[in-house]
Amino acid sequence: MKFTKSLLLISLMLFTFSCREDEPPAVDPGSNEAVNRWISDVMEQVYYWLDDLGTPIAENSNPEDYFESLLFRPTDRFSAIYPDYQELINSLNGVNLEAGYEFILYRENQSSNNVIAEISYIKKNSPAANAELRRGDVINKINGTQLTVDNFRELLGEIDGTHTLSFLRFDEEAQGFVAQNDVTLTAVQLAENPNFLDTVYTINNEKIGYVVYHFFAPGPGQDPVYDLEMDEIFGRLKGESIDHLIVDFRYNGGGFVSSAVNLASLIAPGVGPTSVFSKTKYNKFLTDNVEGLRDAQTLFRNKTQNLGNTLKGNRVYILTSSRTASASELIINGLKPYMDVFIVGDQTTGKNVGSVAFEDDDNEENKYGILPIISQSFNSLDQSDYTTGFVPNITVKESQERLRPLGDVNELLLRTAISQITGIPSGARFQPLNRRDVGSTLDNKIRNGTMVENQIWK
């Protein structure tokens, strides 16, 4: 095992391994025993709830079961293991085998076992975009089979290859959903850009900036292209002299802390390299042995594109859902000591703990990657009490209406925030829906509910 976050951590690794008196007998590098010894080595150093580490099962057990036996459930809701480290890293950076669409699943109605999948958004330059699928389209069949409460999980396993969708689209003239021609899509290795949408509205002489951001990643590989693009977006917003800012995190389940710091540094007023964005606490073993982790702080950055001092009422508006998690919540918590964070949407997930991705560099036959919880995050006022999520100032849920395009001023969450800004109720009236989601493709994303420390540890 090798740590690449800092020289201090490399020193810690050398210290802990050199102090062992009794080395266990060698095992086959491709065996479960080899994988599980590596898992144990990592967890015994970095796991946040080290004092509550579980009793391991047999060393020759399946690695997923072995890892699970060590976790402090139910307190630890987020530690995870993956069969392929590289796929884990790719997914955290938005690179996945997919056709480029996300959706939320609902029961068709209370008396039916049928399930429908309403498309949440389409990714740019994807097979789904080329097929001209749209947000709000309703999928009812995959490969000719009707989705039901009994089979939808199995059918979702078919969309990472070539597959056919049967779907309906709302027709404004008919005021109802109309069946469309089936489309056939082939999944590709797609690099999703998290910077989905940015625009400015002028409503009643108020200039409102709107940014839709789907996950936190600096960019694929070592290139921080997504962070740099976010800087450019805020530079344009600043050039437009906006009065208000709405940031849409409704589909943002988390990602890299470094990108969260980058975005927060573009929003908070009067901050710079001496201002504390967050504080990070680790287990006693790490803090006792690594001086740099005893009072770990993450500082804001100096950004010429910063909007903070220009926003009226020193307020930022955040749009959320129940899937808003981790690094998104870190930003909400980190901004609160500096400004009024006004939340519109649903109660967030409640993840105030962070992970680091580990791989076994010493054993090339071990392909596993693990994301154990290693830390808890606090803001500059030492506040971290959001394990049940942040409660919105105004509660609205996407499921209450059919979906309209993101950026449409009549879209439910956006129009609610705009009405709050302008003080004028929206004149839009749409049919309310009473439905409950049963899952989403977003739930299967590795980054969902993930807050990854600034660098990767190996």
At 267, list the tokens.
Answer: 């929003």
* Per-residue pLDDT reduced to its tens digit, 377-410: 999 999 999 999 999 999 999 999 999 999 999 9
Confidence of residue 1 (pLDDT cuts 50, 70, 90): very low
* Per-residue pLDDT reduced to its tens digit, 244-295: 999 999 999 999 999 999 999 999 999 999 999 999 999 999 999 988 899 9
- Cα→Cα distances 137→73, 155, 250, Å: 38, 18, 18
Cα 16 from chain centre = 33
Q: How far apart are CA 420 and CA 399, in angstroms?
A: 20
Q: Is the pLDDT of residue 5 over 50?
A: no
Confidence of residue 109 (pLDDT cuts 50, 70, 90): confident
Q: How far apart are CA 339 and CA 206, in angstroms?
A: 20
Euclidean distance between the first and final Cα of the chain, in Å? 7
pLDDT at 449: 60
Q: How far apart are CA 263 and CA 211, in angstroms?
A: 11
Across the strands, what pairs with 97?
Answer: 189
Q: In percent, how much of the chain has pLDDT > 90?
A: 83
Please state whether 336 falls in left (phi above 0), alpha (psi between -120 and 50) or beta. alpha
Whether the Cβ atoms of residue 80 and residue 371 lie closer than 8 Å to each other: yes
> Which comes out higher in pLDDT, residue 64 or 437?
64
Q: Which domains, ranges and CATH numbers included, belong to the chain?
A: 95-190 (2.30.42.10), 193-431+447-452 (3.90.226.10)
| Average pLDDT of the chain to the nearest whole number | 91
Q: Is the pLDDT of residue 192 over 60?
A: yes
Q: Is the pLDDT of residue 452 over 70?
A: no
Helix axes 32-46, 63-70, angle to 10 degrees: 20
Q: Is the pLDDT of residue 78 over 50?
A: yes
At 89, list the tokens.
Answer: 């890293």
Q: Is the pLDDT of residue 240 over 70?
A: yes
Q: How far apart are CA 352 and CA 354, in angstroms?
A: 7
At 199, list the tokens.
Answer: 């625009």
pLDDT at 21: 53
- Cα→Cα distances 163→91, 127, 143, Å: 21, 11, 6
